[in-house]
Structures are given as C-alpha cells and as structure tokens.
Structure 1
Amino acid sequence: MTLDYLPPAETIGRLPNYHFPPYITLAHMFHAPKGWAIHNREMSQFVLQYVVDGFARYPIGDQPYETRSGDLLFHRPHELHSILTTDDQPYVCISIVFHFGEVDFPFEELFRHRHLLGNFSGHPVETMLSQLVSHYRQPGLLHQMQCQSLLMAILSQASVSSSSNSPEMKKYPQAIPKLVLIKNYLSDHLHREVQIRELEEISGLSKNYILTLFRRHVGMSPMQYLSWLRVNKAKELAIQSKLSIGEIACLVGYSDVHTFGRMFKKKTGQSLSQFCANLIYS
C-alpha cells in the first residue's frame, strides 16, 4: 500500500527528511486515461485536487461538484468521494495528499467546511502547485522543505482567495461585465500582441480604470493575465497535441521559442519540457 493510503501515524517513520509537519505523502500530476474513474474512495489524509486541464465530476459525500480547469478542491480524511471523467474531455490533475501528524490543524477556520476553494487559473497558487510537484520528485532535505513551504503558502493563499473573492466582486457589480468582456478579448487574441488601447476601445474604459479593475478582481495587470492565458494554453497544447515546443510558442503569440521558454519558466518555475515530464499517465 502506498503512503497516501495509509493512516497518518503509519507514514511518519517511512518519510525521509521529514522532521516536522506538514507531512506530504503524494504530490503528482496525473493525466487520466480514457474511461478512468474512482468510485466511493475514502482517504485517511487531507487531499488537494487541482484541475490542470479538462473536466470531471467530483462528488464529496452528498455534495456534487463539476470541476474544470483551474478548480481547486479540498477534502478531509474519511470523506467519501468519487472522480468521474467523461469520454469527450481530458482530465489532468495535480493531487497533493498530506497530514499534520498529531497536530490538530484548524482547517475549518481557514475553509469553513468548503470543498471547492475556487478557481485559480492564472493565480500564483497554480504555479506553487506545479513547483511542489517538481520538488517532490527530487530527493533531499532541501526539496522536502521546499514542498512543505509551498504547501503552507498554497493553503494560505487559497484561504484568502476563497473567503474574499465573492464579496469583493459584489461591491462592483457594474464593472463585472466589462471585466468579462476584456478577459474574453484577451483569450481570443492570445496568439498575437495586444495593446492596452485595444482594451480601452472595446470596453469604453480608461487605461487607469482597466488597470485598477484587473488588480482588484484578478490580482494582476491585463498583460500579466495575458501571459497566464498563454501559459495555460501552452500546457493544454502540450497535453493534448504532439506539437513541438516551437509550434506551441507560435500558437500562443511568441515567434521566438527562447523568449517563450523564458516566459514559461518565469511563470511556472519549470520549462515546458519539465512540465510534460512530470505528467503521470497511469
């Protein structure tokens, strides 16, 4: 039996270089084969499940969830759950399984009984999850401590975002349609250079107002958001196609593959080749 399925007390002696919690027993990125599913599983540890790409139904107890790219789910020990993929869509996820040993960590204070913590596509949490998987695959105390540090940062950021995003959005209801319009425009034109004046023209808003709107609701500037869209599209193409890195770079707006490579590594902490190498298919 692998460590992620064991009761917490039975894992501690088997984890090298762990001298304090949190204890991470699994961190991987998984590309589900067609027809893959898990039915009525119960874990003894905490689980974070992040959808990198695709779709899956993910009931937890009597709560049904439909998860899509960017969604982050959290469930507690002994919560019955299933993961149900569909034949017409891929499912690529990052799974982090962990516990705190004998420490009674106050998760309910952080998440207040929530399972779906929010959508973190283009959010720093997404980068931290990928970095955690990368460090987990490497031996040694330094990488183990990096994993622990990243996990605590992910929990903190997820708590802040899930508790503050909705009320903040409700304060500015008149601005949300404009924000959606601009985000859709960036998504539709990620294959080319986009100027801020284009966003002014399509929205009727000033440059300063657009910048304020994005920082308040998205947490980054429009151009930073465009970079995140390109990163996510590159990941999608790497997973779902056999295109070369150069071809992917062109499709996401970069004529120079080296410039694309530097951008991708800056945003994710790893190269596109490393991202693909971290995928587990079975």
Structure 2
Amino acid sequence: MMLSHPRLRGEAGAELLGPLRSLTVRASLTVTLGVLAVAAMTACATSSPAEQALRQRSREAAIVCAKKFPGVDYWWDRWSGALTVSVNLRDYPRLSGDQSGFAACVDAEIAARSPGPSERLAPTSAARTTVHVDEAGGRILAPVTVNGRFHGRFIVDTGASLTLLATDGVRSLGMAPREGAPIMSLQAPMGRAIWRPAITLGSLRVGDVIVEDIEAVVSESVRGADGLLGQNFLRHFRVTIERGVPNVLLLEARPAAGAPE
C-alpha cells in the first residue's frame, strides 16, 4: 500500500525530515522534500512574483523528471499545493533508487531554470588567507565581517548550499528582506530544510578574502553563532581545516573559469 507520511507534506519553514540511517538517503530525502516544498507555498493572490516563479520552476522540473522516472508516484495536493511523493510505509523514510533519482533530477532541473549566482570574488580580495577558528560541538566557527561593519562568528558548513545571516546581524546592519524577496532553500545544520527570504550582502569577508554581492537567507538565531558560511561563499575557495592548538582555516581562491589550475 502506498502512503504519504504526514511529515512528507512540506510547508514553508517546517521541519521536513524523519529519522534517517543513511547520509545518502538523508540528502536525497532533503532534496525531494526541501526543493519540492516550494510547491507547498499555496498559489494564493498574496504570493509574491518570486514565489510564483519558484513554484512554476518546481512544477516544470517535476514534469520533466516524471518522464525520466515514470515509476515514481507523486501528485499535487489540491489544498496545500504540495508535491507529495509516495513511499512504502515499510520503507519510510528510505527512498528507492528511482525516487532518489527523481529527487536529484528535480534539484538539477530547478537549478537549471534558476537565475545564475551573482556573487563574485572581490577585486581587492587576497588569493589566500589563514585564520584562527574555534570549535564548539563539532562545528567550526570562523570570524566573519559583513558589509565592513558587522563582525560575528559563522559556522563553516560545506554541506549547506547558501550562506545564512541571523536576524540580529540583519538588524545591526539596518537591512531587511525587500518586498517580494525570493524565498530560498537551505539545509540547516540540524539536518532539516528551511525556507527563508534572501537578502544580498555587499561583502562577506573572512580574514583577507572577500566575496561581493552574495545572497544570504535570513533566519532566527543560530545557536552559538551569528550565521553560517555556505557553498555560495566556500565554492570560491579550496577549503582546508587544520585542527590543533589553535584550529586553523585556510582558504585559497580557485582559478577563474577557464584559467589553468
């Protein structure tokens, strides 16, 4: 019997994951439920153009991927607008190979339909930097400067797609998500997908390296930190963490596209 687990019906900002045993399955389930949770934003008249565009991209992606994985049973909930994937109750929360493939396909299709990244390495950025970092609860905390004014500690999270700035930092900078700001997805440190409005930071600096015009999602405080460094910052560098006394984070700028390594 094919059942939809209640927690499979993602809602914006809701925790989307059940207990998992496999990191691979966790990633696949997060992709399926996190990315497809875009559709949970109901198509009401008050939704922003950005939200409507995001929903449309997710619908287009699901149609394409359903043709590639015809055995995956999914449907749109008529009340919530959520895209729901059927999972055998005995298998929950594991996804089958086709379901995992469907999830990865949807993620890739949405990415292909989404605007390209705006962030870039600043012309004044150094090619490399070494900074002392703290470790707490297994998390690496790096000193960060935002827009040249806000100084805080961000979790270095190579598994997060986007950078996050807690609301206290946003307030101290006098910033706020603009009306109609895009709603973006981030897999948070606690293994759950969250959906939050995004802002554009003029600069994000760690040591002597700087990335400009970088998007960050805005969320409540992150326990023990002021934010999170995600892949839209880290992908510009080769990242090395050397544990010792003190712990050290080494960031080396990657060559520009087309340049020799």
Question: Which TM-score applies when normalising by structure 2?
Answer: 0.24
Which one has a larger percent strand, Structure 1 or Structure 2?
A: 2
Highest relative contact order (Cα 8 Å, sep 6+), 1 or 2?
2
TM-score (normalizing by structure 1): 0.23
